Structures are given as C-alpha cells and as structure tokens.
Amino acid sequence: MERPNVLDVPDEMALSREKFYAVLAARIQPTHRPRWYLSALACLAALNHQDEVASLYTLLLKSYIPKEEQLDLTRKIREALVILVGIIGAAKIGNALRALSEVTPDGLRDPTCYRKWENHEHAVARGRDFAKSIYGENNERGRSSRIASPDYDFVVLGNGNIGL
C-alpha cells in the first residue's frame, strides 16, 4: 500500500531538501543569518533525524557559510548541540554529533575539550543562578514538580536543591 501524502501536496509541488532550506533561509533577516540553521539543527536532533543533521550541515558548508567562517560556526553548531543535552537528551544529541562528525571536513574538526578544566561547583552555581534568572525565587514550581513526580524532581532539579 502506498504511503498517504500527509500534507496533501502533489509530488511535483513538494520541495527538495535544498529548496526547503533556501526558502527557510530567505525568510530570515540578514542580521540573523546564523540563527535559522541552529534552530533547524536543534529540531532535527530533537526528532532524532541525525541523517538530516548531516545533510543540512553539508549543505550549509556548500551554500550558506562562507569559507572563512566555517570553523567558527562549526564550533558554534557543536556547542549548540552540546548545550541541548539537558533538553533533548544525551542519546539524540550523541546521534546528531556523531552524524555531524562523519561529514565534518578534517580542517573543521576541533579536538579541544573546553569544559575539561571547569570546576564542578562553579558550574553548578552558574546553573543555579541561570535557573533563578528564569524562574525567580518561586518555590511553587519545585513543590509542584515534587508532587507530580519525585523522580523528575530528583533528576531534573537535583532533589530540589537548586533553589526553585
């Protein structure tokens, strides 16, 4: 049986991958040029479409990112994905990073671990301050998460010890 066309769009009207990203890029203001593809890569990683992460990255290098900016923006793409581990999950981000690595040219690889020397207590304090800047001193969110699921509270909020 043939798979239904979910969007009810005739095949001849369907956009190719390249045309889709061209339309997406054209809708963004020039001053926001790097942002559209960071969002697109995050969405693709969240949906566990690591093959599309690799395809988009390859297209970006070919058509959107100037040669002189490729190393810096490749680092930013990897950093954006690493930051999303807490939101999307380590497994999906790991899949996306491995797929990205497979298509990253040797000259754009960065073997440096920038967090290697980071002090754990300092990082926890920075995270606590960041959470407070978002949620304030409102403890109601912490209480409601403990009631909703003590395991969620333990895993996400560190047993309620981050001041929420």
Q: Does residue 94 share a domain with residue 35?
A: yes
Of 108, 132, 148, the domain-final residue: 108
Same domain, 151 and 71: no
Instruction: Tell me the C-alpha distance between 141 and 164, whole Å.
Output: 7
Blockwise average pLDDT, block size 10, the chain, 164 residues: 51 73 75 74 95 94 92 93 88 95 95 82 79 65 67 61 43
**Residue span of the structural domain in which 148 resides:** 120-157
Q: Measured on CA atoms in the order 123, 129, 134, 140, is the torsion positive or negative?
A: positive
* pLDDT value for 125: 82
- Residue 115 belongs to some domain of the structure: no
What pLDDT, on a 0 to 100 scale, did the predictor assign at position 11? Answer: 63
State residue 160's pLDDT score.
Answer: 47
pTM of the predicted model over 0.75: no
25 in the same domain as 74: yes
Instruction: Give domain status of residue 46, yes or no.
Output: yes
